[in-house]
């Protein structure tokens, strides 16, 4: 199985040994961040720093002229990735014999939500989620599609992986997050992620729903959950809380908006890219799910993109719905966390990869070579050597 690792430009820039060290793991490619959200990241081997604080969502290269005069535009990075940090890192990795693919985070941008609050998802209580651009809004969709094309097709990139290309919702690893007092399951997360911005209110109306009545229904359904009542599970739980017809009407609107922005973004990337450029999505096989791994219909997305990257830490079951659905040569990459401190199990990587292969995976993604400890990386080297 072909293995690739994730990296940030700041893992490589300023560290002359980073590229060779990554190649020595046994990976053949690197998925290198070109557009990324705010984060605080450890760099345990860098000769100049140990912690990088990326203060806001940014592109890690100089943004192009296409954004001139536009209200919605990507932000250049600060001192955590100045200039063309992506390009500098990509050149070093390519010189070490690694294929470089861009890593593009799209509908996850707190800075955009702070500067343009009207772009954000609004829940049934009227609370805005500034980290979550609403993918139903026309201006936001145009921004995301153009960002995908620009950030994906960087010089020297052999392909791209598009993350957060769909709905983002309540779940968010926010700084100093304090939202775990009531543990919401999938049903509660879905209800708290329904958007009630003007575009979505109109969209619900097109599917036979009154937005005010829907918001009231959501609040009433969640009230027992806030008081500690057991929450019904999964999609069946959503249907129980909202009513079957209402629940499916919300999905019809949301899935159409997600599906069409995914189609448009992939088409824009392909139009800008050279022949042979691979376009993958970070994806979840349940279309109603939100987050970095966008909910998709497996058959549909594999008719649009060249493949998917699927979260498999803790179990590879999400691979199965994608297996055999794509065209010949479609990529089904199992994404495995190899950072012990983030819940990864690098010591079981060989066994986890074998299970993923049995479920149809033909590639591996390792999260994250820059964040992992020396001991974690030693376990990765050993496992990839056996594979």
Whether the pLDDT of residue 75 is over 70: the answer is: yes
Q: What distance in Å separates the CA atoms of residue 134 and residue 109, rounded to the nearest whole number?
A: 11
What distances in angstroms separate CA 98 from CA 123, 137, 256, 318, 370, one per listed residue? 43, 38, 37, 28, 15
Contacts of residue 250, defined as CB under 8 A and 6 or more positions apart, other chains included, come to 194, 204, 207, 209, 214, 242
Q: What is the mean pLDDT of residues 23-46?
A: 98
Count of alpha carbons within 13 angstroms of residue 168, beta-carbon side: 27
What percentage of the chain reaches a pLDDT higher than 90?
94
Whether the pLDDT of residue 204 is over 80: the answer is: yes
What is the pLDDT, as a whole number, of residue 176? 65
Alpha helices in the chain (DSSP H): 9-12, 18-23, 85-95, 110-115, 138-152, 186-193, 198-206, 211-226, 234-242, 244-272, 298-304, 349-358, 374-386
What distances in angstroms separate CA 337 from CA 25, 82, 347, 372, one per listed residue? 15, 28, 11, 9
Q: What is the mean pLDDT of residues 97-112?
A: 98
Q: What is the mean pLDDT of residues 196-218?
A: 98
Q: What distance in Å separates the CA atoms of residue 342 and residue 302, rounded to the nearest whole number?
A: 30
Whether the pLDDT of residue 76 is over 90: the answer is: yes
Q: How confident is the model at residue 128 (pLDDT cuts 50, 70, 90)?
A: very high
Q: How confident is the model at residue 327 (pLDDT cuts 50, 70, 90)?
A: confident
Q: What is the mean pLDDT of residues 193-210?
A: 98
What is the pLDDT, as a whole number, of residue 103? 98
On whether the CB atoms of residues 323 and 355 are closer than 8 A, the answer is: no
Q: What distance in Å separates the CA atoms of residue 39 and residue 204, rounded to the nearest whole number?
A: 34
What is the largest distance, in Å, between two alpha-carbon atoms of the chain?
Answer: 59
Whether the pLDDT of residue 59 is over 90: the answer is: yes
Reference 165, options 122, 135, 131, 130; nearest CA is 135
Handedness of CA 288, 292, 296, 298 (dihedral sign): negative
Reference 87, options 66, 57, 129, 59; nearest CA is 59
Whether the pLDDT of residue 285 is over 70: the answer is: yes
What tens digit of pLDDT does each residue of 223-280 get?
Answer: 999 999 999 999 999 999 999 999 999 999 999 999 999 999 999 999 999 999 999 9
Backbone Cα Rg of the chain: 21
What is the pLDDT, as a whole number, of residue 287? 97
Reference 146, options 30, 64, 240, 78; nearest CA is 64
- Checking 265-269 for CB contacts under 8 A at 24+ apart, the result is 265/106, 265/144, 265/145, 265/148, 265/149, 265/162, 265/165, 266/148, 266/162, 266/304, 266/305, 268/145, 268/146, 268/148, 268/149, 269/148, 269/149, 269/152, 269/153, 269/160, 269/162
What is the pLDDT, as a whole number, of residue 172? 83
Mean pLDDT, the chain, integer: 96
Reference 37, options 159, 155, 164; nearest CA is 164
Q: How confident is the model at residue 328 (pLDDT cuts 50, 70, 90)?
A: confident
Reference 150, options 320, 265, 32; nearest CA is 265
Handedness of CA 327, 329, 331, 332 (dihedral sign): positive
What is the pLDDT, as a whole number, of residue 346? 97
Contacts of residue 24, defined as CB under 8 A and 6 or more positions apart, other chains included, come to 381
| Torsions phi, psi for 141 (to 5 deg) | -60, -45
DSSP three-state, residue 21: helix
Q: Which domains does the chain have, with CATH numbers?
A: 2-386 (3.20.20.80)
What is the pLDDT, as a whole number, of residue 181? 78
Q: How confident is the model at residue 88 (pLDDT cuts 50, 70, 90)?
A: very high
Return the bridge partners of 278, or none: 159
- CB neighbour class for 108 (10 Å; exposed up to 12, middle 13-18, buried from 19): buried
What tens digit of pLDDT does each residue of 143-192 get?
Answer: 999 999 999 999 999 999 999 999 999 988 766 676 677 889 999 999 99
Q: How confident is the model at residue 316 (pLDDT cuts 50, 70, 90)?
A: very high
Reference 9, options 47, 29, 36, 44; nearest CA is 36
Q: How far apart are the first and last CA of the chain?
A: 7
Whether the pLDDT of residue 111 is over 70: the answer is: yes
Whether the pLDDT of residue 38 is over 90: the answer is: yes
Q: What is the mean pLDDT of residues 121-126?
A: 98
On whether the CB atoms of residues 372 and 43 are closer than 8 A, the answer is: no
Whether the pLDDT of residue 210 is over 90: the answer is: yes
Predicted model pTM: 0.97
């Amino acid at each position: 199985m072909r293995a690739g690792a994730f990296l940030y430009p700041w893992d490589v820039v300023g560290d002359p040994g980073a590229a060779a060290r990554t190649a020595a793991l046994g990976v053949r490619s690197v998925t290198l961040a070109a557009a990324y959200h705010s984060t605080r990241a450890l760099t345990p081997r860098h000769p100049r720093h140990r912690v990088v604080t990326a203060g806001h969502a940014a592109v890690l290269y100089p943004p192009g002229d296409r954004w001139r005069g536009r209200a919605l535009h990507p932000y250049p990075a600060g001192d955590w990735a100045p200039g063309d940090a992506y390009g500098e890192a990509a050149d070093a990795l390519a010189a070490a014999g690694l294929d470089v693919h861009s890593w593009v985070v799209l509908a996850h941008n707190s800075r955009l939500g702070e500067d343009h609050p009207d772009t954000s998802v609004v829940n049934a209580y009227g609370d805005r989620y500034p980290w979550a651009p609403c993918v139903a809004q026309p201006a936001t969709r145009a921004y995301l599609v153009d960002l995908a094309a620009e950030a994906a097709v960087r010089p020297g990139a052999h392909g791209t992986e598009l993350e957060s290309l769909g709905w983002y919702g309540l779940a968010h690893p926010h700084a100093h997050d304090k939202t775990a007092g009531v543990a919401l399951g999938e049903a509660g997360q879905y209800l708290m992620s329904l958007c009630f911005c003007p575009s979505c209110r109109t969209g619900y109306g097109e599917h036979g729903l009154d937005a005010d009545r829907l918001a009231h229904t959501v609040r009433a359904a969640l009230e027992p959950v806030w008081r500690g009542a057991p929450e019904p599970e999964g999609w069946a739980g959503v249907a129980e809380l909202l009513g079957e017809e209402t629940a499916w009407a919300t999905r019809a609107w949301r899935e159409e908006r997600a599906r069409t922005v995914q189609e448009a973004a992939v088409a824009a990337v392909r139009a800008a890219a050279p022949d042979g450029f691979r376009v993958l999505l970070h994806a979840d096989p349940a279309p109603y799910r939100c987050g970095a791994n966008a909910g998709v219909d497996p058959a549909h997305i594999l008719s649009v993109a060249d493949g998917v990257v699927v979260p498999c830490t803790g179990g590879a079951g999400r691979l199965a719905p994608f297996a055999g659905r794509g065209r010949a040569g479609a990529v089904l990459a199992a994404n495995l966390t190899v950072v012990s401190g983030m819940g990864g199990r690098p010591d079981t990587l060989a066994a986890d990869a074998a299970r993923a292969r049995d479920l149809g995976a033909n590639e591996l993604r390792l999260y994250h070579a820059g964040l992992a400890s020396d001991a974690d990386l030693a376990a990765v080297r050993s496992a990839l050597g056996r594979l």
